[in-house]
Structure 1
Amino acid sequence: MTMDELPIGDVEKGYDNKGEITNKTLVSSFGYDSNKEPIGSNKDLTKNNLVWSGINLKLMDRKKGKKDGVKLNILKDVWGTAEAGKTTAIMGASGAGKTSLFQVLTGRIPSQGNLVQEGSIYLGGVRVDPRNREHRKLFGYVAQEDTLHETSTPREALRFSAKLRLAHATTDEEIEQLVEKKLKALGLESAADTIIGGGFKKGISGGQKKRVSIGVELIASPSIIFLDEPTSGLDSYAAAQVMQLLDDVAKEGNIVLFTIHQPSSKVFSSFDNLILLNKGQIMHQGSVSNTANDFSAAGFPMPDNYNPADWVIDVSETNQLDDLKKTTFFSSEPKDNTIVTDSQKTLAIPYSKPVSIFVELQYLLRREFRDIKRNPLMTVINVTITSILAAIFGLMFWDVGRKDRSEIIVVQAVLGSLVNLMISTLFGQSNTAIAVFARDRPLFLREYSTDHYSIVPYFLSKLGSEMFNAFAAVLAQTLVVFWMMGFTMGFGHLLAITYSMSLVSTAVCVMLGAFFANPENATALFTVVVVPQLYFSGVFISIELLPDVVQWAQYVCSLTYASRLALAYEFQNCEPGLAEENCLATLDRNNVEIDNIWWYWLALLGLFLGFRLIAMIVLRSKANY
């Protein structure tokens, strides 16, 4: 069988325990059990079902005991099955618990101390934990929002996912064949080389984006495809296309499970199975084709010319829970739904040795700089605004560095020009850094949770693009102000100081962006974190005049060290006489010690590394559900 003949959802290659490609082709994407036999195959799909039993999700009140500490039962004794080879939809009104159930099944319940999760989940009769990163290799997850790299094309997005998620022994030629096959199966051949697009530039359509999102997950041939609201925001034609694609994926022996809200009658009829939740409990579960008969048997016949999706929700919402429980709805969990596991069988995850961290970094850097090339607007705006502000400063402090420093007023003007330049650099690069990080954060969370790459190469690649953008802006600023203001320090010194300052400020922004998903919150806190630097750094008030309890703050202020470096290089070689006396007095008043220049550089480096490390740790914790 050639790669072009393989089904859309299947694993193309098997791998031995050394990560080498074997000659054995998997008949389904479930892998092999301990006896090297497929856990399931297209001939016996029922063995591959996803089954969950006794799922409870409780919001606890930690102030009370375990027995009386339940504030809310979000899910209560939820059970169900998602069959291999079929599509299964989870529906329910707002607050019914469909999102919570979906988060439990996908292992994405937020790790909060007041949430308690209970129950069992089985795949092919084997216990599975969706929160386990190894088990997640069997899952594909497509979020409601299409978190795709905006300047990539569908072909590049699929190639990126394939290169980083398939075994390292997979050749580039095999990856290209696989990508072509998936593009054809997804109906994306005509849009394969069009950028995906987003806020900055129009790209492919919404329906095509959704298919790319699905394709990015299919490229790793997962056993189960989870989708959160796959038709959200799509017109009826695009929604029908997506549902046809999911049906094709299911027919190849995969499990397709998704939540959906208010589908059209055409989309509803395309499901195979329906799970209806009401107040955190299973109200109805069964084949979509039998839904009308099942509701009629419960005493709720569906009116003619009525959307069945609307009808099942209307019934659940317009009737009291106690009344509905008196009917055939809310049946107890069948005894055969509880799986008795076979101790001889283990969950088989095909072993695949991933690519090295250097390959991850290579592909991430390539994508970052392709983004800059295709979307230079952010860089251009940053450089332009920085240059304009630099020109304004240059006019305000025109030629101040070349004037006679025997006059104290001139020395004060030079001091003011340097301090204002440092402050402008501190704030100037922050807005760009926060905006870019906020844009890319959801993409990282999706890709990291699906094992595209590890945290270190991601941060290094982001640092690479940030360093490029910051250098372009700071270079433009230095080229303008250095000769307009007439500083005596070397051009390289001024460039190095302002560049270091900008890197530390972007590190602070990245750290705050790691804590907060909302860029407005990060921006607000940035003001709280950075503005005090103006007071604690000693540039406006001597450190000795500050209260003892806050004097320590000078050591965590990047402005402290950047301003001291700038003053040291500018005033250390003034002309002998009164000019030299004024310069040395200024250095003394600002706690600048020439012998400590290298310590100032090391302090900036330490702050940069410290903020980056905190950001890395926080973002990694956010990505672990």
Structure 2
Amino acid sequence: MEQEMADVVVATRSNGNVGQQISHQAIFDKANRPVSLKFEDVVYKIKVKKEGLFKKTIESEEKIILKGISGIVLPGEILAMLGPSGSGKTTLLTALGGRLNGSLSGNITYNGKPFCNVMKRNTGFVTQDDVLYPHLTVMETLVFTALLRLPNTLTKEEKIMHAEDVITQLGLTKCKNSIIGNRLVRGVSGGERKRVSIGQEMLINPSLLLLDEPTSGLDSTTAQRIVSTLWDLANGGRTIVMTIHQPSSRLYYMFHKVLLLSEGNPIYFGKGGDAMDYFTGIGFAPMFSMNPADFLLDLANGVSVDDSRDDQAILKQTLVSAYKSNLAENLETELNQPNGNLHSVADGKQHNRWTTTWWQQFSVLLRRGVKERKHESFSGLKIGQVLAVAILSGLLWWQSDSSHLQDQIGLFFFYSGFWGFFPLFNAIFTFPQERLMLEKERASGMYRLSSYFMARTMGDLPMELVLPAVFVTITYWMAGLKPTATSFLYCLLVLLYSVLVSQGFGLAIGALVMDQKSATILGSVIMLSFLLAGGYYVQHVPSFIAWIKYVSIGQHTYKLFILSQYKAGETYRCAQNRTCLIEDFPSIKSVGLDGHVLSVVALAIMLVGYRLVAYIALMRIGVTRK
């Protein structure tokens, strides 16, 4: 049967329609350390909450997703996990990759050792959905990954060369300068995108490679090319485990071993070529020649070719019982055999937790973030929006003077309101949009959370600060505010200060909620509450709710804006051409012309505090068992 599988691989590669296939030789060097993966009696349970008529939880029950699954995959082998949707394939794969939290029991070992950080560094995990930045090119994607994941024993130039080698070996040379793209942005094809995902994992030369539905959504020729690549990688001594939904027959015979699942139960584990004989031997033979994978999936769904067997539940239970009677004992014997010459991946080595320094991670993530988001940050729409509002505001408040004191104060309140909401909504989407990427990269141990957080927030600062600076420069002089450099700089610094605080507030809400729609609603409600308590609309706030102004970004900003223009003792023209003291003007009196230090300190606390909340909220993402 091994020869039959090899013949299928050679035959499919010689097909004239696939003329530019990767050569039959192993496309990468051999694995650093071969890994024998064993999993014994793996059980995974979750708690399912039941809801009443009005969505009130009335009770929770325990649901078993994986029901005592065992298996072994040796170096040089491909294990394909088959089964209908909901059978537990992805859950098991996630558990084997050390990424599953919760009520997981059983024993999963890698050369006889449990999962650890060193094993994480030698494990590649390719998710079903290709989580990639759409506006980076193929080359940029792999180079940034290489700079982050490859150790400092390699120079920067060597890491880039390694990325170029991966591009060549995966047949991505023609599209290396094309952007990845997504549903909204035209980029590389689905097959090329999948090979980029595999290439990201192959950069670290993993001993164990796990793939979730690598052929999902691809045509048969592209799917065959992907699996042929995996065959070559296995020949290099790697251990490969993949889930696959409905492979063609020529793909099926490329799998060394097959694990068939039905509702979390194993009903077959063994060589792929022996599966048909096994089921024929227990009384389930196909009535006509068919794709083995289709036949196995029919059985896993409780569908038999024998029309007399109508009860799916009985059929599934029969298959589970047959597995326990005919296969479980032999598998247990195989699992108890020693690993032979295989040693732990960590044997004889001292490893740091991170392959690169904090500063390297920060600088690479900063450059990558700027490249990915420059199209959004420097978009003509956003710039045009700010310029249009600035010019309109300047015209509405054109050359107002002290006789129009209420108008000038209204402009300052507009400053605090507009530049409270604008950076807030820009920042709210930051972490929800990047959640999948952060989960993926943190789970692989690519970088520290602190380096990501600093790079992500610092990368947005240029446009966060440039646009308000341009805005206030236009409106300040058009509105005829106090024409001194000191007052202008004071006003500008106050605006930039408040923008940073509002950005931190948006980051905190986005990180806490992690849902764009919910975060937007929550941010709007809170910011409107701050705005209403800002001292402009309501000057006599009842004492029981007056506390809001002390935590209001808008109120402190509004007060500092007023202090940038007016000082106690100054006068203005009031009714009947009399002069009145500035501090007696109602809108100013309610805010006061003192306590600027308190407002500066309050905003400083918010500036640090909101970002700290965002960072702590992000710590729950990408946490996996060790």
Indicate if the aligned counterparts of 2:420 and 2:498 stay in contact, CA closer than 8 A: yes
2:202 aligned with 1:218, yes or no?
yes
Farther-moved stretch of structure 1 (480-489 vs 179-188): 480-489
Deviates more, 1:336-345 or 1:187-196: 336-345
Q: Which stretch has the larger CA shift, 70-79 or 317-326?
A: 317-326
Over the aligned positions, Cα root-mean-square deviation in angstroms equals 3.0
Tell me the amino acid that sits aligned with residue 474 of structure 1.
Answer: P
Letter of the 1:168 counterpart: N
Q: In structure 2, do the counterparts of structure 1 residues 306 and 393 end up closer, same or farther at CA, with 3 Å as the change threshold?
A: farther
Distance 2:240 2:281 in 1: 28
- CA shift in 2, pair 1:412/1:104, >3 Å: same
Equivalent-residue separation in structure 2 for 1:263 and 1:7 (angstroms): 23
* Alpha-carbon offset, residue 568 of structure 1: 1.4
Q: Tell me the TM-score normalized by structure 1.
A: 0.83
Matched, 1:98 2:89: yes
Which residue of structure 1 lines up, in the alignment, with residue 243 of structure 2? 259
Question: For 1:216-254, what per-residue CA distance to the aligned partner results, in whole angstroms no more than 9, with x for missing partners?
Answer: 111111211111111222222222221111111111111
The equivalent residue for 2:20 is none
1:128 corresponds to which residue? 114
Question: Aligned equivalents of 1:155 and 1:443: distance in 2?
Answer: 18
The letter for the 1-side match of 2:181 is G
Q: What does residue range 82-231 of structure 1 map to in structure 2 within 5 Å?
A: 82-110=73-101, 115-124=102-111, 126-129=112-115, 132-198=116-182, 201-231=185-215
Farther-moved stretch of structure 1 (357-366 vs 306-315)? 306-315
Q: Which residue of 2 aligns with 1:370?
A: 371
Give the Cα separation in 2 of the matches to 1:323 and 1:86.
29
CA distance in 1 between partners of 2:552 and 2:28 (Å): 53
Displacement of 1:121 = 0.8
Q: 1:443 aligns with which of 428, 437, 444?
A: 437
Answer yes or no: is 1:55 the counterpart of 2:42. yes
Alpha carbons of structure 1 residues 565 and 586: separation in structure 2 relative to 1, 3 Å: farther
Query: In structure 1, what is the equivalent of residue 361 of structure 2?
Result: 360
User: For residues 570 and 609 of structure 1, do their structure 2 counterparts lie closer, same or farther at Cα, with a shift above 3 Å needed?
Assistant: same
One-letter code aligned to 2:110? L
Pairing 1:348–2:337 present = no
Kept in 1, the 8 Å contact 2:118–2:351? The answer is no
- SS class of match (1:624): coil
C-alpha spacing 1:568/1:80, structure 2 compared with 1 (3 Å): same
1:88-139 alpha-carbon deviations (Å, 9 max, x no partner)? 11122122111221222122224xxxx4111111112x2222xx43431121
| Residues 266 and 178 (structure 1), Cα distance of their counterparts in 2 relative to 1, 3 Å cut | same
* Displacement of 1:149: 2.5
Instruction: Report the 3-state secondary structure (helix = DSSP H, G, I; strand = E; otherwise coil) of the residue aligned with 1:623.
Output: coil
**Residues 507, 614 of structure 2: 8 Å contact kept:** yes
Residue of 486, 511, 532 corresponding to 2:480: 486
Amino acid of the residue matched to residue 624 of structure 1? V
**Deviation (angstroms), 1:571:** 2.4
CA shift for structure 1 position 501: 2.2
The whole-number CA distance in structure 2 between the counterparts of 1:231 and 1:61 is: 31
Equivalent in the alignment of 2:387: 387
Does residue 545 (structure 1) correspond to residue 531 (structure 2)? The answer is no
* 1:597 equivalent in alignment to 2:596: yes
CA distance in 2, matches of 1:577, 1:435: 44
Partner of 2:281: 297
- The code of the aligned residue for 1:534 comes to L
- Seen in structure 2, the aligned counterparts of structure 1 residues 70 and 617 have a Cα distance that, compared at 3 Å, is same
Q: Partners of 2:568 and 2:390 in 1: how far apart?
A: 25
Q: Is residue 500–residue 607 contact of structure 2 (8 Å, CA) maintained in 1?
A: yes
- Residues 1:460 and 2:454 are matched in the alignment: yes
Give the deviation of 1:540 after TM superposition. 2.4
Matched, 1:29 2:32: yes
Against the structure 1 CA distance between its residues 266 and 341, is the aligned structure 2 distance closer, same or farther, given a 3 Å change threshold? Answer: closer
Separation (CA, whole Å) in 1 of partners of 2:252 and 2:26: 25
Please, which moves more after superposition, 598-607 or 456-465? Answer: 598-607
Q: How many Å separate the matches in 2 of 1:600 and 1:140?
A: 50
Distance 1:377 1:96 in 2: 43
Q: Which consecutive unaligned segments of at least 5 residues does structure 1 have?
A: 1-5, 11-26, 31-39, 41-47, 405-409
Residue ranges of structure 2 left out of the alignment (5+ in a row): 1-24, 51-58, 303-311, 574-578
Hey, what's the Cα distance between the residues in 1 that align with 2:246 and 2:543?
61
Q: TM-score, normalising length from structure 2?
A: 0.83
The structure-2 alpha-carbon separation of the partners of 1:182 and 1:351, relative to structure 1 and needing over 3 Å to count, comes to farther
Distance in 1 of aligned mates of 2:32 and 2:565: 66
Change (3 A) 1:305 1:395: farther
1:3 equivalent in structure 2 = none
Instruction: Summarize the Cα distance change of 1:422–1:389 in structure 2 as closer, same or farther, 3 Å threshold.
Output: same
Q: Distance in 1 between matches of 2:517 and 2:60?
A: 35
Deviations 1:372-411 (A, max 9, x none): 45x25754322211222233333333333x241xxxxx32
Please name the residue that 1:412 is paired with: 406
Contact 1:501 1:562 in 2 (8 A): yes
Q: Tell me, what secondary structure is at the counterpart of 2:328?
A: coil
- 2:508 counterpart letter in structure 1: M
Higher mean C-alpha deviation, range 300-309 or range 162-171:
300-309
Is this contact kept in 1: 2:123–2:209, CA < 8 A? yes
Q: Tell me the residue number matched to 1:17.
A: none
When residues 184 and 554 of structure 1 are mapped into structure 2, their CA distance, relative to the original with a 3 A threshold, is same
Q: Is the 8 A contact 1:127 1:341 kept in 2?
A: no
* Percent of pairs with identical residues: 26
Residue correspondence of structure 1 range 544-563 to structure 2 within 5 A = 545-548=541-544, 550-563=545-558
The answer (yes or no) to whether the contact 1:51–1:337 under 8 Å persists in 2 is no
Secondary structure in structure 2 of the residue aligned to 1:53: strand
Partner residue in 2 for 1:536: 533
Q: Would you say 1:609 and 2:575 are equivalent positions?
A: no
